[in-house]
Amino acid sequence: MNFNMKNRTIALTSALLFSAASAFAAGAQDSVVQEQKSLLQKLDSLQESVIGLKLNGTAKAGALASLAKSDQFSDDSPTHETQAYTDVNLLLTARPSSETMVTLQLRLHKDWQSGFDENNNPVIGHWFSYDGSILNKHLDFNLGYMRVAYTPLTLFAPQPFLLQEPEIFAQERIEALAQRNLDTTSRRLLQGLNVDYHSGQLGSIVDDVHAQLTGARLRNTAKKTDQLFFDFDFSDRYFYAGRLGVGIMGAKLGVNYTDVFDRTLSRESRGLQSGDTVYYEDNSLISVELGFDSKKLLPTLPVTFGLDGEFAMSKWSAEMEYFAAIREKMYTIAQGAVIDENGNQVNTIYVSTEDQPGDTEYKEDVGETDGNAFYVTPYVKADIAGIEADLKATYLKTDKDFWSEMASAPNYRGGSIILNSNALYSNEIYSSAIGAFGMSSLENLYLSVYNSNPLNATNLLTSQPLVNALSNTDESQYLYSKLYNNYKNAHFYRNGYDAGTIKRLELEQAVFTLDPTVNMALPFGLATPDRNGFNVSFNATWNDAVTLNAYFAQIKQDSVSVDLATGAAIENTYTEFAVGGNVDIGRLANLDRKILLQGSYDHAEEKEFLKRKSDRIMGGASADVWGPFAFQAGIQMAKTQFENELPVTAFSTITNVEEMFVLAGPKVRIAPNSYLTVQYGMLTDKMNLNTYAIGVDADGKETLVQGTEEISINKNVIIADVTVNF
């Protein structure tokens, strides 16, 4: 604890507050912004130079009640689900020197109740890292948790495309992401070591020489056989990467290399059992990036232009290891008796064959593919007469067999049931469809549940004893002798986001569960395989008060599926467009408060395959009303059509999904950066299904009977919480 700093910080604080106050009195807003920025830099440098231990964090306490209603619920279904909790994210930073810093984040969570003792409600370590900027700030390093991005084709986290997302929704999404330790940037969350060297300006020509090395473990094997946790794999999976780059006169050239592989030997700590199959995947990639920005050469021009481009070559291979039962013929010599031609019994010997069961471990290649990807993004930016505008176009082409795992997996997955997950349905069709498809996009994008529950037989997963934890996920026959006296809690998520990367073979199974309403054309960003097309975006802002955005994309996929009749590949075309804008009336009218209105519409569709069409319209308002009182509101409607039905279970398909989420309420500032928020939300989710069953026709023959069903669930959501940042 940095107790001896007390007096000094008080003095500094007063000085800074005074400076800030006089800055506001100064008048012209541009200069205010400049002065604010300068103050922020001072504060940053002040914070960063304090050596010692610091404790900061966020405490949040409140409730989220979801009152659901649906004709498809069974009569005894629970319809209310209330999260009532206190949650503290404690941030400890220790600075052994001004150059390096240890960061530790602890999460403390309690779900309100006083009906029984909760004894061991653990403190969860949320973030551990040792970071620094050494060698006169030329070398940055991160050890432990880190967020790193290289380029869109190598190391990257694609983000959902949500144009002019109302602030009230953005805040909810940020919170859901933060529970998973994620943020809205495209940096990927990793655990390992990252070293990043920048030379800075060398002479008058070289802007920068850049070298970076990154290594991380992505997965590890289960360490216990009796408990299955969600974050393990059958083998350790590692990632390493490096990049080199040079910048000259505003141009840059770089080479990037990444490799992800399963460490086969780590699987061998567990023996394979009959029926087990394990896949190992290796994915390496080399890319060359090229860029140019005119700002360096022509700094005085109000218009800058430039270009970013990258070409990448990927290599992917997989092998499988499995244990299978075989039957071998065993030959033995046996003695017997036969009747000879005279009718007498005589002794003889003969060769007897017998089937002998046996188990063998096999290892074989699944496949090896190479692919290339390429994109180029020319852009132009202008800053004229208070209007800042940029126009950007991207042409991209990726091979069908291009695969870049570290740039592909989006953090947003969807497909979960976040609220009222304990609801019961009146028939199997509804429950299995919801179980497989989850709730739709909006609930997954914006709502999340975090609980600390006592470990008990229903949430303590156990596997067969004395058998490996590879593929046998049956319950342990000793389940009831491994219970914890309701003594120990564990933290549980219900969240549409996930920090993990996805292997290519896993993705083939998971592709249907990805939410189609965001990034339909490029679900894995620019690294999406088998794409060829372009997109154009235009953004313009006037005086930070009025913003306009527009986006258009047309992208082809050579082979989305195969025509069953001819065997020919079916080509798909994705078309996307979006427009949006915002107006800050407060700024326009020169008021000292923000009154921001936002709105956008986007549409995406595909020509073949499922023939999906998705529309999203959203609008929002954020207004500082009076003193500490602000009001926020947002509405969002999303609609997805599957002209060719989306199979979700063996007997049902989805044809249409319509959703709406309205969220509004006051936000009261109770202290700087501390708020009381009360929000009411209405979430509606309607799904149309086609159902299939085997019936009997008039002739008594079995026939396929098709029907339709609609699942409609409305949820009234009440959110009330207090957030204190310290």
Partner 1 sequence: MNMKMKRSLFALLAATVASAASPVVDNQNLLESKVDSINAKRGLELGGSIRGVAQATYFDSDQDGTVKRMMPDVEKDEFVTADLDFHFRPYENVRANATMRLEAGMQEYFASAAKSISVAWINVEGNIGKSFYWIVGDFRQEYTPLTLFLPTVDIMYEPLVFERQRHMAQKSQFIEGNQRNLQGVNLQFRMMPNTSVGEIRAEALMARLNRAAVLDFSGAEGNVMTNAAMPGATQASNMDKWLAAGNFEMLPLNRNLYVGATGMFIFDDEDSFTYTDRHEENKLMNDYVREPINPYDLDAQQTLVVSGRVGGDVAGFLGNKNLTLDLVAEVAMSNDKVYTHTPTFVQDENGETVPGEELIEDSKESGMAILATLNAGYKTEVWGVKLLGNIIRNDSAWFNNAAQSPSFFAQRILNTDLDGNTVKYGVNSPLYSTFGALYSFNPKFSPVARSLGTDDAAFEDGQTESYNIANYNKNSWTTNVYGKSQLALLETLMDPALQMALPNGLATSNRFGGQGTLTANFKDFAEVQGLVTVLSQVKPMYGFEAVKYMEYGGGAKADIFKAIGFSKPLEISGSYKHSERKADLDPELGGAGTAELKSDFINGGLYVQYLPRLGVTGGVQLINTEYNTIQSNLSGLVAPLLKSKQMQWMVGLDYSIEKNAWLAVNFGIITVSNEYNTKALVEANKAGEPMETGTVKGGVFNIPDYYDVSKDKSGKYKNEFSQTIIEASLNVEF
Q: Identify residues 486-505 at the interface with partner 1 (CB under 8 A).
A: 486-488
Q: Identify residues 136-195 at the interface with partner 1 (CB under 8 A).
A: 140, 142, 145-147, 159, 161-167, 170-171, 174, 178, 183-185, 194
> How many Å apart are CA 227 and CA 236, to the nearest integer?
18
Residues in the chain: 726
Extract the tokens encoding 336: 């017997």
> How many Å apart are CA 619 and CA 162, to the nearest integer?
12
> How many Å apart are CA 17 and CA 9, to the nearest integer?
12
> 93, 463, 640, 684: which one contacts partner 1 (CB under 8 A)?
93
The answer to whether 103 contacts partner 1 (rule: CB under 8 A) is yes
Selected range binding partner 1 among 9-17, 210-218, 496-504, 567-575, rule: CB under 8 A: 9-17
| Nearest Cα to Cα of residue 615 among 668, 577, 563 | 577
The answer to whether 380 contacts partner 1 (rule: CB under 8 A) is no
> How many Å apart are CA 580 and CA 466, to the nearest integer?
59
Is 42 or 363 the residue whose CB approaches partner 1 more closely? 42
Is 284 or 519 the residue whose CB approaches partner 1 more closely? 519
> 269, 356, 422, 703: which one contacts partner 1 (CB under 8 A)?
422
> How many Å apart are CA 707 and CA 690, to the nearest integer?
6
Task: Reduce the DSSP state of residue 162 to 3 states and report it.
Answer: coil
> 51, 94, 99, 111: which one contacts partner 1 (CB under 8 A)?
111
Is 276 or 584 the residue whose CB approaches partner 1 more closely? 584
| Nearest Cα to Cα of residue 634 among 549, 719, 713, 712 | 719
Is 127 or 403 the residue whose CB approaches partner 1 more closely? 127
> How many Å apart are CA 174 and CA 9, to the nearest integer?
31
Is 5 or 246 the residue whose CB approaches partner 1 more closely? 5
| Crossing angle (nearest 10°) for helices 29-49 and 6-25 | 170
Per the CB < 8 A criterion, the answer to whether 492 and 459 are in contact is yes
> 384, 466, 698, 704: which one contacts partner 1 (CB under 8 A)?
466
Minimal distance in Å, beta carbon 547 to partner 1?
A: 5
The answer to whether 5 contacts partner 1 (rule: CB under 8 A) is yes
Q: With b meaning 16 or more CB within 10 Å and e meaning fewer, what string describes 510-522?
A: eeeebbbbbbbbb
The answer to whether 122 contacts partner 1 (rule: CB under 8 A) is yes
Is 288 or 479 the residue whose CB approaches partner 1 more closely? 479
> How many Å apart are CA 470 and CA 510, to the nearest integer?
19
> 70, 81, 440, 652: which one contacts partner 1 (CB under 8 A)?
81
Chain-centre distance for alpha carbon 405: 13
Residue 710 neighbours by CB distance under 10 Å: 13
Size of the site for partner 1 (CB under 8 A): 136
> 26, 45, 49, 55: which one contacts partner 1 (CB under 8 A)?
55
Q: Identify residues 666-705 at the interface with partner 1 (CB under 8 A).
A: 670-674
> How many Å apart are CA 442 and CA 682, to the nearest integer?
11
The answer to whether 482 contacts partner 1 (rule: CB under 8 A) is yes
Chain-centre distance for alpha carbon 23: 41
H or E segment at 416?
none
> 479, 505, 678, 718: which one contacts partner 1 (CB under 8 A)?
479
Minimal distance in Å, beta carbon 5 to partner 1?
A: 6
The answer to whether 448 contacts partner 1 (rule: CB under 8 A) is no
- In angstroms, the Cα distances linking 676 to 167, 665, 725 are 16, 10, 12
The answer to whether 59 contacts partner 1 (rule: CB under 8 A) is yes
Is 322 or 379 the residue whose CB approaches partner 1 more closely? 379
Question: For every residue of 181-248, which 3-state class applies, written as one string?
Answer: CCCCCCCEEEEEEEEEEECCCECCCEEEEEEEEEEEEEECECCCCCCCCCCCECCEEEEEEEEEEEEE
The answer to whether 120 contacts partner 1 (rule: CB under 8 A) is yes
The answer to whether 664 contacts partner 1 (rule: CB under 8 A) is no
The answer to whether 330 contacts partner 1 (rule: CB under 8 A) is no
Minimal distance in Å, beta carbon 328 to partner 1?
A: 34
Token pair 């279904």 is found at 77
Per the CB < 8 A criterion, the answer to whether 406 and 258 are in contact is yes
Is 465 or 695 the residue whose CB approaches partner 1 more closely? 465
Selected range binding partner 1 among 121-129, 316-324, 498-506, 679-687, rule: CB under 8 A: 121-129
Minimal distance in Å, beta carbon 166 to partner 1?
A: 8
The answer to whether 456 contacts partner 1 (rule: CB under 8 A) is yes
Minimal distance in Å, beta carbon 284 to partner 1?
A: 25
Pairing state between β 652-671 and 595-606: unpaired
CA dihedral 443, 448, 452, 456 (to 10 degrees): 30
Going through 607-651 in order, the beta strands assigned E by DSSP cover 612-626, 629-649
Q: Identify residues 23-42 at the interface with partner 1 (CB under 8 A).
A: 29, 32-33, 36-37, 39-40
Q: Identify residues 525-554 at the interface with partner 1 (CB under 8 A).
A: 539, 541, 544-545, 547, 549
The answer to whether 117 contacts partner 1 (rule: CB under 8 A) is yes
Extract the tokens encoding 582: 């915002």
Is 224 or 363 the residue whose CB approaches partner 1 more closely? 224
